[in-house]
A and B are shown apart, each in its own frame.
Chain A
């Protein structure tokens, strides 16, 4: 059974760093892309970026380029989304999703990870 399991909710202060994770199982992890999507409270879905774990090729939405870093560790079938210096505006739910190519639909999704940034 294909599963994407995300790390738990986080509460951080502005300026702190954070790395959230998405662990894949039940499929050949390295050969599927993993994407990230942001959903701010009460708002719609926003495309963050995507990574190919096999070689760590990564694409970012222009809105998120330079604001976050996506990485992967194939040895533990996990993809990460990280921030070096959080802002209050980063508070949102973040979902990961599996894609057969970098330009394909997300067929499986993680349960979401809530990030709250507040002083």
Chain B
């Protein structure tokens, strides 16, 4: 089973800054088989990206995703207050990373 390791565990930034979140797989994941989700307290997860870099409906273009094989990155430019949440990567139909908490500094 593929293990996904996200880093950092917590990222403290201010609105307007750029967040870079990493997701590393223990073995190669097809570039079309990784997703990113956003979860806010008390809410269900929300799809951010599918197929590594396909932005979900309603996600602003400040969000970018990239990567292949074992290294994947979610970048959020010009952070807005509503972006602060926990972000998870997931190999389709399988394991999630442990999450990165993006918090306001």
Q: Is B truly associated with A?
A: yes
Which A residues lie at the B interface, using CB under 8 A?
Answer: 35, 37, 44-47, 50, 59, 61-62, 95, 97, 99, 102-107, 109-112
CB atoms of A106 and B47 under 8 A apart: yes
Further 11 A-B residue pairs, CB within 8 A, beyond A45-B88, A103-B92, A103-B93: A37-B45, A44-B99, A45-B39, A45-B90, A45-B96, A47-B90, A47-B95, A61-B95, A103-B33, A105-B90, A109-B46
Interface residues on B, range: 20 to 34
29 CB-based A-B contacts, threshold 8 Å: A35-B93, A37-B45, A44-B96, A44-B97, A44-B98, A45-B37, A45-B39, A45-B45, A45-B88, A45-B96, A46-B96, A47-B93, A47-B95, A95-B45, A102-B93, A103-B33, A103-B92, A104-B50, A104-B92, A105-B47, A105-B51, A105-B56, A105-B92, A106-B35, A106-B45, A106-B47, A107-B47, A109-B46, A110-B44
Instruction: Pick the contact of A44: B47, B88, B92 (CB < 8 A).
Output: B88
Known contacts A103-B33, A105-B35, A107-B56; is-contact A47 B94 (Cβ 8 Å): yes
